């Protein structure tokens, strides 16, 4: 009878250890230890990631995060960590069923709301970097609410509206479109610190024909 009770006790322990809830106690790279009870902490176990092949995903668990430990055969030494469950320590950041979002500890948020078709990324005090041979924005309108600095050439094929000051440190070339017409229209004054050329005629230095003394007007510029 004693032997049977011992076998039953071992069986119940193995069944209990098949799936257990706990919280992350320590993290070291791709392994972590889980607090499974007041006096029970697991060995270093692998935590499950969506992809771990030629395509890899990485998002390490956080100390205090509630997780599930799955142990084949009830052997906790062979268990794996399945993140994660919302808890009092880490509550759900949203309540809407139309939002997919990722919140980061520095306050950054990447979010898409399919009900209103808005994709947003908030990076407080941060920098967004895109490295590619070519970036295409296929949108009817693109709005930049802050300063825009272009280190290379700026090529505008159609209309462009700048409501603030535009500084063109490398010069500017304007060309009429295929339909012809006026190349550039300026509403307001133009101030040049050097000279302005119309064809080969200098605004500041051009001579005039038909110059006479007195009150007569000179001819046009040469």
- Is residue 76 pLDDT above 90, yes or no? yes
Report residue 210 CA to chain centroid gap.
66
**Which tokens in the block code for residue 31?**
């392994």
pLDDT score recorded for residue 150:
84
CB-CB contact of 41 with 34 (8 Å):
yes
pLDDT score recorded for residue 193:
81
Cα separation, 37 vs 9, whole angstroms: 19
Stated length of the chain? 222
CATH architecture of 11-85: Beta Barrel (2.40)
Cα separation, 66 vs 212, whole angstroms: 96
Nearest Cα to 79, choosing from 87, 68, 89? 68
Q: What is the DSSP string of the chain?
A: -HHHHHHHHHHHHHHHHHEEEEEEEEEETTEEEEEEETTEE---EEEP-S-BSSSB------TT-EEEEE-GGG-GGG-EEEEEE--SSS--S---TTEEEEE-TTS-EEEEETTTTEEEEE-TT-------S------S-----S----SS----SS----SS----TT-------TT-S-S---SS----SS--EETTEETTT--BSS--STTPPP--B-
Nearest Cα to 29, choosing from 61, 69, 75, 70? 61
pLDDT score recorded for residue 6:
58
- Average the pLDDT over 11-22 and give the result: 90
The domain locations on the chain are 11-85, 92-136
91-136 confidence digits (pLDDT tens): 999 999 999 999 999 999 999 999 999 999 999 988 999 999 999 9
Residues paired with 23 in a beta bridge: 35, 66
133-189 confidence digits (pLDDT tens): 999 989 988 888 888 888 888 877 777 777 777 777 777 777 777 777 787 777 888
Burial 56-91 (b: 16+ CB within 10 A, else e): eeeeebbeebbbbbbbeebebeebebebbeeeeeee
Cα separation, 76 vs 110, whole angstroms: 36
pTM reported for the whole predicted model: 0.72
């Amino acid at each position: 009878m004693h032997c049977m009770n011992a076998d039953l006790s071992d069986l119940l322990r193995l069944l209990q250890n098949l799936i257990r809830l706990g919280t992350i106690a320590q993290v070291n790279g791709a392994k972590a230890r889980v607090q499974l009870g007041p006096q029970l902490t697991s060995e270093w176990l692998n935590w499950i990631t969506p992809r771990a092949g030629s395509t890899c995903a990485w998002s390490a668990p956080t100390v205090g995060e509630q997780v599930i430990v799955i142990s084949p055969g009830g052997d906790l030494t062979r268990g794996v960590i399945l993140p994660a469950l919302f808890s009092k320590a880490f509550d759900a950041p949203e309540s809407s069923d139309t939002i997919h979002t990722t919140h980061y500890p520095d306050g950054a948020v990447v979010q898409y709301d399919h009900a209103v078709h808005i994709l947003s990324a908030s990076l407080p005090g941060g920098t967004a970097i895109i490295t590619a041979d070519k970036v295409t924005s296929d949108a009817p309108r693109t709005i930049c609410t802050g300063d825009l600095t272009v280190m290379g050439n700026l090529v505008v094929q159609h209309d462009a509206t700048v409501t603030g000051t535009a500084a063109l440190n490398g010069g500017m070339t304007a060309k009429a479109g295929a339909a012809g017409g006026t190349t550039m229209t300026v509403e307001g004054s133009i101030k040049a610190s050097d000279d302005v050329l119309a064809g080969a005629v200098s605004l500041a230095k051009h001579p005039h024909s038909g110059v006479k003394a007195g009150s007569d007007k000179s001819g046009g510029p040469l």
